[in-house]
Amino acid sequence: MVRFVVILALLLVTGYTNQALAGNKHARPQPLRQNFDSFVLLSARSSDLRLFMPAYASGKTGKLLEWEHDLNAYSQQWLDKKGKIADQQLLHQLFYDVHRRYLKHYTKYTGLQALFQTGEYNCLSATAFYALILERLGYHYQIIESINHIVLLVKPQNGQLILLETTDPANGFVANTNGVKERLQAIKNSEQAAGYYNLNLKIFRTIDLRELAGLQYYNYAAWHFNQRSMAHATDHLRRGQLLYRSERFEKTARLISGR
User: What pLDDT is stored for residue 163 in this prediction?
Assistant: 98
What is the phi/psi pair of residue 64, to 5°?
Answer: -65, -40
Burial class (CB in 10 A: 0-12, 13-18, 19+), 77: exposed
Q: Per the structure, how many domains does the chain have?
A: 1
Position 82 scores a pLDDT of 95
Domain containing 167: what range? 2-28+37-257
Helix (DSSP H) and strand (DSSP E) numbers for the chain: 11, 7
> Which residues of the chain fall short of a pLDDT of 70?
1-44, 57-60, 199-200, 257-259
pLDDT confidence of residue 38: 62
Query: What is the model's pLDDT at position 27?
Result: 59
Q: What is the pLDDT of residue 258?
A: 65
